[in-house]
Chains A and B, each alone.
Chain A
Amino acid sequence: MSSVLDVVLSSAFLAAVLRVATPYLLAAFGGLVAERAGISNIALEGQMLAAACTGALVAGYSGSVALGALGGLTVATLLGLLLAALRLELGADAIIAGIGLNLLASGATAYAVYTLLDDKGGTSGLRSGTLPTVPLPGIESVPVLGDALSGQNLVTWLAFLAAPFVAWLFYRTRFGFHLRAVGEKPDAAASVGIPVRRVQYAGLALSGALAGLAGVFLSMGHVSFFVRDMTAGRGFIALAAVFLGGLRPWGVFLAALGFGAAEALAVQLGTLDVPPQLVSTIPYAMTLLALALYAWRRKRRGTGEPVPASL
């Protein structure tokens, strides 16, 4: 047991948490923005996957990491807009449309990689490079924290900046004000002349972009290739973090960080003498436990509502 403690208290573990939490944070904020705009973005998973694939392919063929990242973000943003269009123009159920987009992303990425590279597994045959790391001057001298913080990827810093950014956007800006009004009471927003659809499109575009950044990090952060279905359910776990965080920026931040820590723990325990199958269930078991806790707390708080129907 002491070896587990050693692992958890090491600066290498802290560094791993920051790294692993990055895609969760970004995707969760993407989910949060969409949820508050009134359209559930269950397609986070597909948007991440499409961005990861596009990023690796564009970077590999163009030789430019920046161009790759931009390509990934663009594709995910377009998928966000597509979800909004399916919901708002065609009246599709956002959940069903989202599932469709996830399946589309999974199939289309595998197909694109196979067609272009004749490889069923991924883009490891392509040299695509990674996004830069950002050294903070002087940070190395801080004990424990220094080792953990130095050499983190640019996207990791962006992920941590996303929390104050989204909080500022929601509660200080006119756009955030309108977004929250539209998501909570579209009739009220429309009755004061707020262009409800336009706000929802903008929200879903931002949601897709954030998920896209998470996807780009997966294929261009610490590895330099795309692997088929490499998101491995992170989009759904991020969605769980959105609700567990109570639909508030800092709550979502903590929830996503918690899921990151759980996965980092699973990775670290893998090096110890614990059955790997058991270890790899930790993030998912955490998710279930956390959601159960969330439901229980909600129930205990009690809304004072009686049995809903009279019959």
Chain B
Amino acid sequence: MNESWNAAGPAVAARAVTKTYGNGVRAVRGVDLEVPPGEIRAVVGENGAGKSTLMKMFYGLEQPTSGEILVGGRPRVLRGPSSAIALGVGMVHQNLMLVPSFTVAQNVVLGVEPGRRGLVDAKAAVETTARLAEESGLAVDPGARVDEVSVGMRQRTEILKALHRRAKVLILDEPTAVLTPQETEDLFAAVRRLREGGMTVLFISHKLREVREISDTVSVMRAGSLVGTVPTADATERSLAAMMVGRDLSLDVHRVPARRGEVTLRVRRLGYEAPTGQSLHRLSFDVAAGEIVGVAGIEGNGQSELAEILAGLRRPTAGTIHVGDTDTAGLDVAGHRRAGVGYVPEDRLHNGAALDESIADNLVVDRHDRPPLARRGVLHPGAVRAHAERLIGQYAIRTPDPSVPVRALSGGNLQKVIVARELSARPRLLIASQVTRGVDIGAMRFMYERLVAARDNGAAVLLISADLTELLALSDRLLVLKDGLLAGRFDDTTGLTEKHVGLYMLGVEHHGPEHLTAGLDTGEEPAA
């Protein structure tokens, strides 16, 4: 299938490619890009910079409005993924394209199943998958159901899918967004091995540290155009960030030392028996007004459960939780809101917003039932709109109109809608979970400033994140969760290194119970 490849030319290339959507949006403007065979090319840019659209054109999911796409050194018309696959292009999508109830092997062969006369040879599928896994070093369990394996294995399954189709070009769209640090390491090792075998890899990301680690060259996109391509060795995170946003921008957050006020969140011997997922055991900690307490840990060690308990989405099975003087352990979500809890959920698409509803409506869901937005149970549309326009301005949400459904917003803008709603309610306690996951560097910086501002205005902030750099940059104090238990507590984050905290995340080190509970009042009753 690849005999039409011209060995001398680039593996993939775009020539003066422009993509204009039906609604007039020009997502890609006159991009010229060449990727030679056997190179790992990172493509970076903010959300909406056009990198995903460009990749979709290489994979046949979108067709260029003008210009040419080249695969294997020749201009091609890619009518759909099947023609891209036939030419040797494979793509691993950000939201993985796997059938959950199928096994790993079934997903790998789906579409090009082994077998004769319309039948599927299940045994051959397992053997093929095992062989590909062995050759590429991408460890998977061929017989396991995809919905029962880790995210990392799902992603390896996706790569094996491309290998099974004899891909010579592999497009990885934000592959590390869902991975733990260890899984990311493994992925990078596998990608390097694929390169040794002659694979061309396009690596889409906005995590500049990872780009520096994995790629040979970096192409930077901004507002639909290609800004430049530089050898990775010559680039720094700072220079790349400047190219991405068009001005010098650093993620260093300026923080004055925290002025701790009274204890706002008081958690004592909190326990939770999870039907599925991670259970929690005997968690005790405080978060005071005016401080940011970070929660570190490898994903799946109880962070999600803890956040959802504190937000009222799950009920703890043991222990007490107080927000101020209110015992919130038995309250529903509305009760938590009344007690002054704000919540930015980790899965913003699922829990954070009603995607088909407008920005304006999403901004009032927590306060639509009272003045000034409603009077005697009847909404005041003018007030709802004015409220939305005010927050859109304050939080720099990029949208033509408050009536736009939030589904149409980019990841960073959608997150701004949620953060705007939660912070404008002036919570005394903010639970912020994976606030910057999948948002671009500009929005990231904006979120950081807002969180620090909320802290300085006296809010207690519990910041849960998989990004250790972020935790160390923002947290006044840091807790580490491991297997649903507190494994570490750092009351001073200055000088704390990622490596050191990593040891606690992995369970190599842990603090003793006296250190973890030092200074906490032990009484069952809150000190009024």
Contact = CB atoms under 8 A, between A and B. Distances in A.
A and B assemble together: yes
Interface of A: 172-175, 177-178, 180-181, 184-185, 187-194, 302-304, 306-311
B118 A191 contact: no
Interface string B82-105: 100100000101000111111000
Given A304-B274, A311-B366, 7 more contacts: A180-B102, A188-B99, A189-B110, A191-B61, A192-B81, A302-B276, A310-B352
B119 interface: yes
Interface stretch (B185-193, B307-315, B386-394): B307-315
B442 interface: no
B257 interface: no
Contact of A310 (B161, B276, B333): B333
A175 B313 contact: no
A193 B111 contact: yes
Given A180-B99, A304-B276, A194 B110 contact: yes
A191 B81 contact: yes
Given A181-B110, A309-B351, A310-B333, A192 B120 contact: no
B264 interface: no
A188 B110 CA distance: 9
Nearest to A309: B351
B200 to A, nearest CB: 20
Contacts of B337: 311
Contacts of B366: 311
Contacts of A185: 97-100
B351 A310 contact: yes
B368 to A, nearest CB: 10
B275 interface: yes
A12 B81 CA distance: 58
B85 A310 contact: no
B118 A181 contact: no
Count chain B CB atoms within 10 A of each CB in A184, A303, A309 and give the residue with the most: A309
Interface string B313-345: 110000000000000000001000100000101
Contacts of A192: 81, 85, 97, 110-112, 161
Contact of B82 (A180, A193, A310): A193
B106 interface: yes
Contacts of A177: 106, 110, 113, 120
Nearest to A190: B81
16 contacts: A174-B113, A177-B106, A178-B111, A184-B100, A187-B97, A188-B99, A189-B99, A191-B61, A192-B112, A194-B110, A302-B275, A306-B313, A307-B313, A310-B343, A310-B345, A310-B351
A174 B120 contact: yes
Question: Which of A173, A184, A311 has the largest count of B CB atoms less than 10 A from its CB?
Answer: A311
B80 A193 contact: yes
A302 B113 CA distance: 34
A239 B333 CA distance: 37
A222 B475 CA distance: 78
A66 B163 CA distance: 51
B300 interface: no
B313 A310 contact: yes
Given A174-B119, A310-B351, A191 B113 contact: no
B69 to A, nearest CB: 17
Pairs of residues from A and B, 3 with the lowest C-beta to C-beta distance, nearest first: A193-B82, A304-B276, A192-B111
B271 to A, nearest CB: 17
A285 to B, nearest CB: 32
A307 B333 contact: yes
Nearest to A183: B99
Given A185-B98, A192-B110, A194-B110, A172 B333 contact: no
A291 to B, nearest CB: 22
A185 B106 CA distance: 14
B277 interface: yes
Given A184-B99, A185-B98, A174 B110 contact: no
A177 B99 CA distance: 11
Residue from the set B85, B111, B337, B350 with the largest chain A CB neighbour count within 10 Å? B111
B115 interface: yes
B421 to A, nearest CB: 9
Contacts of A184: 99-102
Contacts of B61: 191
Contacts of B119: 172-174
A299 to B, nearest CB: 12
A184 to B, nearest CB: 5
A175 B106 CA distance: 14
Contacts of A304: 274-277
A274 B89 CA distance: 70
A154 B91 CA distance: 50
B87 to A, nearest CB: 12
A178 B313 CA distance: 37
Nearest to A175: B118
A186 to B, nearest CB: 10
Interface string B53-91: 000000001000000000000000000111001000001
Contacts of B113: 174, 177
Contacts of A178: 110-111
Contacts of A189: 99, 110-111
A188 B97 contact: yes
Contacts of A193: 80-82, 85, 111
B365 interface: yes
B177 to A, nearest CB: 18
A217 B112 CA distance: 39
B375 to A, nearest CB: 21
Contacts of A307: 313-314, 333
Contacts of B314: 306-307
B486 to A, nearest CB: 22
Interface string B267-280: 00000001111000
Contact of A181 (B99, B274, B276, B351): B99
Contacts of B82: 193
Contacts of A174: 113, 115, 118-120
Interface in B271-292: 274-277
B291 to A, nearest CB: 24
Interface string B341-379: 001010000111000000000000110000000000000
Contacts of B333: 307, 310-311
